[in-house]
Amino acid sequence: MAGQPEAGSTRGRIQAIAFELFSKQGYEKTSLREIAERLNVTKAALYYHFRTKEDIVHSMVDSYLTTIDELVEWAHAQPQTLDTRQEVIRRYATLLWESRESTRFFQQNPALQHEEIGEKFRARMRGLHEILRDRDAPVADQIRSMLALLGLTVTTFTLNDPESAGEWDENEAKAAAVDVAMDLLSPR
Protein backbone atom coordinates (compact mmCIF):
# COMPACT_ATOMS: atom_id res chain seq x y z
CA MET A 1 0.00 0.00 0.00
CA ALA A 2 1.19 3.50 -0.61
CA GLY A 3 0.54 6.91 0.80
CA GLN A 4 -0.52 10.09 -0.83
CA PRO A 5 2.11 12.11 -2.70
CA GLU A 6 3.99 14.65 -0.60
CA ALA A 7 1.84 17.72 -1.17
CA GLY A 8 3.43 20.82 -2.65
CA SER A 9 6.95 19.49 -3.04
CA THR A 10 8.86 18.60 -6.20
CA ARG A 11 9.05 15.05 -4.89
CA GLY A 12 5.30 15.14 -4.40
CA ARG A 13 4.74 16.32 -7.98
CA ILE A 14 6.98 13.52 -9.24
CA GLN A 15 5.10 10.97 -7.13
CA ALA A 16 1.72 12.25 -8.34
CA ILE A 17 2.66 12.18 -12.03
CA ALA A 18 4.38 8.80 -11.71
CA PHE A 19 1.41 7.37 -9.87
CA GLU A 20 -0.96 8.71 -12.54
CA LEU A 21 1.14 7.22 -15.36
CA PHE A 22 1.66 3.92 -13.52
CA SER A 23 -2.08 3.66 -12.96
CA LYS A 24 -3.04 4.53 -16.55
CA GLN A 25 -0.51 2.57 -18.55
CA GLY A 26 1.07 0.25 -16.00
CA TYR A 27 4.27 0.35 -14.00
CA GLU A 28 6.29 -1.66 -16.54
CA LYS A 29 5.20 0.46 -19.50
CA THR A 30 6.05 3.78 -17.85
CA SER A 31 9.58 5.14 -18.21
CA LEU A 32 11.43 7.73 -16.19
CA ARG A 33 11.72 9.71 -19.43
CA GLU A 34 7.91 9.89 -19.69
CA ILE A 35 7.64 11.04 -16.09
CA ALA A 36 10.26 13.75 -16.70
CA GLU A 37 8.49 14.89 -19.89
CA ARG A 38 5.14 15.18 -18.08
CA LEU A 39 6.84 17.29 -15.41
CA ASN A 40 8.58 19.34 -18.08
CA VAL A 41 11.99 18.68 -16.52
CA THR A 42 15.10 16.89 -17.70
CA LYS A 43 15.73 13.29 -16.82
CA ALA A 44 18.77 14.50 -14.84
CA ALA A 45 16.50 16.75 -12.75
CA LEU A 46 14.26 13.75 -12.06
CA TYR A 47 17.34 11.67 -11.09
CA TYR A 48 18.15 14.28 -8.44
CA HIS A 49 15.06 13.10 -6.55
CA PHE A 50 14.63 9.48 -7.70
CA ARG A 51 17.14 7.23 -9.45
CA THR A 52 14.58 4.57 -10.44
CA LYS A 53 10.86 3.96 -10.73
CA GLU A 54 11.21 1.60 -7.79
CA ASP A 55 12.60 4.50 -5.72
CA ILE A 56 9.40 6.43 -6.47
CA VAL A 57 7.25 3.48 -5.39
CA HIS A 58 9.31 3.03 -2.21
CA SER A 59 8.92 6.71 -1.36
CA MET A 60 5.14 6.40 -1.65
CA VAL A 61 5.10 3.27 0.49
CA ASP A 62 7.31 4.96 3.06
CA SER A 63 4.96 7.95 3.11
CA TYR A 64 2.01 5.64 3.85
CA LEU A 65 3.96 3.78 6.53
CA THR A 66 4.91 7.08 8.13
CA THR A 67 1.23 7.91 8.55
CA ILE A 68 0.73 4.58 10.32
CA ASP A 69 3.78 5.31 12.50
CA GLU A 70 2.23 8.66 13.41
CA LEU A 71 -1.04 6.94 14.33
CA VAL A 72 0.82 4.44 16.54
CA GLU A 73 2.81 7.26 18.16
CA TRP A 74 -0.38 9.21 18.83
CA ALA A 75 -2.05 6.14 20.34
CA HIS A 76 0.90 5.44 22.66
CA ALA A 77 0.52 8.95 24.08
CA GLN A 78 -3.15 8.32 24.94
CA PRO A 79 -4.66 6.43 27.88
CA GLN A 80 -4.89 2.75 26.98
CA THR A 81 -8.68 2.59 26.99
CA LEU A 82 -11.41 1.21 24.77
CA ASP A 83 -12.11 4.80 23.63
CA THR A 84 -8.50 5.15 22.44
CA ARG A 85 -8.64 1.80 20.63
CA GLN A 86 -11.88 2.84 18.94
CA GLU A 87 -10.33 6.13 17.85
CA VAL A 88 -7.40 4.18 16.38
CA ILE A 89 -9.90 2.16 14.35
CA ARG A 90 -11.61 5.34 13.09
CA ARG A 91 -8.28 6.94 12.16
CA TYR A 92 -6.99 3.79 10.49
CA ALA A 93 -10.22 3.52 8.47
CA THR A 94 -9.83 7.13 7.35
CA LEU A 95 -6.22 6.46 6.37
CA LEU A 96 -7.31 3.46 4.30
CA TRP A 97 -10.07 5.37 2.52
CA GLU A 98 -7.79 8.34 1.81
CA SER A 99 -5.10 6.12 0.30
CA ARG A 100 -7.55 4.02 -1.67
CA GLU A 101 -6.18 4.94 -5.11
CA SER A 102 -2.71 3.86 -4.01
CA THR A 103 -4.13 0.64 -2.60
CA ARG A 104 -5.81 -0.06 -5.94
CA PHE A 105 -2.50 0.53 -7.71
CA PHE A 106 -0.76 -2.06 -5.54
CA GLN A 107 -3.61 -4.51 -5.99
CA GLN A 108 -3.16 -4.18 -9.76
CA ASN A 109 0.64 -4.47 -9.53
CA PRO A 110 1.28 -7.24 -6.99
CA ALA A 111 4.83 -7.77 -8.28
CA LEU A 112 5.76 -4.45 -6.67
CA GLN A 113 4.88 -5.78 -3.22
CA HIS A 114 8.13 -7.60 -2.70
CA GLU A 115 9.43 -8.99 0.55
CA GLU A 116 10.89 -5.74 1.96
CA ILE A 117 7.67 -3.78 1.43
CA GLY A 118 5.61 -6.65 2.81
CA GLU A 119 7.73 -6.87 5.96
CA LYS A 120 7.50 -3.11 6.53
CA PHE A 121 3.72 -3.29 6.25
CA ARG A 122 3.48 -6.35 8.54
CA ALA A 123 5.60 -4.54 11.15
CA ARG A 124 3.18 -1.58 11.12
CA MET A 125 0.20 -3.92 11.41
CA ARG A 126 1.84 -5.58 14.42
CA GLY A 127 2.30 -2.12 15.96
CA LEU A 128 -1.36 -1.24 15.43
CA HIS A 129 -2.45 -4.60 16.79
CA GLU A 130 -0.34 -4.10 19.92
CA ILE A 131 -2.31 -0.93 20.58
CA LEU A 132 -5.70 -2.49 19.87
CA ARG A 133 -5.37 -5.61 21.92
CA ASP A 134 -5.78 -5.89 25.63
CA ARG A 135 -3.06 -8.29 26.75
CA ASP A 136 -5.10 -9.18 29.83
CA ALA A 137 -8.14 -10.14 27.74
CA PRO A 138 -8.87 -13.71 26.66
CA VAL A 139 -7.06 -14.86 23.53
CA ALA A 140 -10.32 -14.77 21.56
CA ASP A 141 -10.70 -11.05 22.32
CA GLN A 142 -7.10 -10.39 21.29
CA ILE A 143 -7.79 -12.17 17.99
CA ARG A 144 -10.93 -10.08 17.52
CA SER A 145 -8.81 -6.92 17.73
CA MET A 146 -6.56 -8.29 14.99
CA LEU A 147 -9.62 -9.14 12.89
CA ALA A 148 -10.86 -5.56 13.30
CA LEU A 149 -7.78 -4.30 11.44
CA LEU A 150 -7.98 -7.06 8.87
CA GLY A 151 -11.68 -6.41 8.25
CA LEU A 152 -11.09 -2.74 7.47
CA THR A 153 -8.24 -3.60 5.13
CA VAL A 154 -10.16 -6.33 3.30
CA THR A 155 -13.17 -4.04 2.91
CA THR A 156 -10.94 -1.46 1.24
CA PHE A 157 -9.55 -4.12 -1.10
CA THR A 158 -13.06 -5.31 -1.91
CA LEU A 159 -14.27 -1.79 -2.66
CA ASN A 160 -11.25 -1.39 -4.96
CA ASP A 161 -12.00 -4.59 -6.88
CA PRO A 162 -13.86 -3.65 -10.08
CA GLU A 163 -15.84 -6.90 -9.98
CA SER A 164 -17.04 -6.33 -6.41
CA ALA A 165 -17.14 -2.54 -6.19
CA GLY A 166 -20.68 -2.04 -7.50
CA GLU A 167 -22.07 -4.68 -5.17
CA TRP A 168 -22.35 -2.34 -2.16
CA ASP A 169 -22.95 1.33 -1.63
CA GLU A 170 -19.44 2.59 -0.85
CA ASN A 171 -20.38 4.86 2.06
CA GLU A 172 -22.61 2.20 3.58
CA ALA A 173 -19.83 -0.39 3.26
CA LYS A 174 -17.28 1.94 4.88
CA ALA A 175 -19.60 2.69 7.80
CA ALA A 176 -20.46 -0.99 8.20
CA ALA A 177 -16.77 -1.95 8.21
CA VAL A 178 -16.05 0.54 11.00
CA ASP A 179 -19.11 -0.65 12.95
CA VAL A 180 -17.97 -4.29 12.65
CA ALA A 181 -14.44 -3.34 13.70
CA MET A 182 -15.79 -1.47 16.74
CA ASP A 183 -17.92 -4.46 17.63
CA LEU A 184 -14.89 -6.73 17.40
CA LEU A 185 -13.02 -4.46 19.83
CA SER A 186 -15.76 -4.54 22.42
CA PRO A 187 -14.98 -6.91 25.28
CA ARG A 188 -17.10 -10.05 25.40
Q: Report pLDDT digits (tens) over 6-23.
A: 556 888 899 889 988 887
| Position 172 in a domain | yes
Rounded-to-integer distance, Cα 153 and Cα 163, Å: 17
Task: Tell me which of 77-81, 120-124, 158-162, 180-184 is least confident.
Answer: 158-162
| Position 147 in a domain | yes
pLDDT digits (tens, 9 = 90+) for 64-81: 889 999 999 999 999 999
Which of these, 154, 161, 145, lies nearest to 176 by C-alpha position?
154
Q: Does the pLDDT value for residue 5 go beyond 70?
A: no
| Domain count along the chain | 1
Phi-psi label, residue 186: left if phi above 0, alpha if psi -120 to 50, beta otherwise: beta
Helix 10-25, helix 32-39: angle, nearest 10: 120
- Domain containing 91: what range? 60-185
| Position 33 in a domain | no
Reported confidence tier of residue 148, pLDDT bands at 50, 70, 90 = very high
| DSSP assignment letter at 112 | G
Helix 170-185, helix 82-98: angle, nearest 10: 150
Determine the average pLDDT of the residues in 179-184: 95
Which of these, 24, 5, 25, lies nearest to 16 by C-alpha position?
5
How much is the pLDDT for 107? 67
Rounded-to-integer distance, Cα 104 and Cα 31, Å: 20
| Position 27 in a domain | no
| Position 114 in a domain | yes
| Position 20 in a domain | no
Give the pTM.
0.80
| Position 71 in a domain | yes
Longest dimension (CA), the chain: 60
| Position 118 in a domain | yes
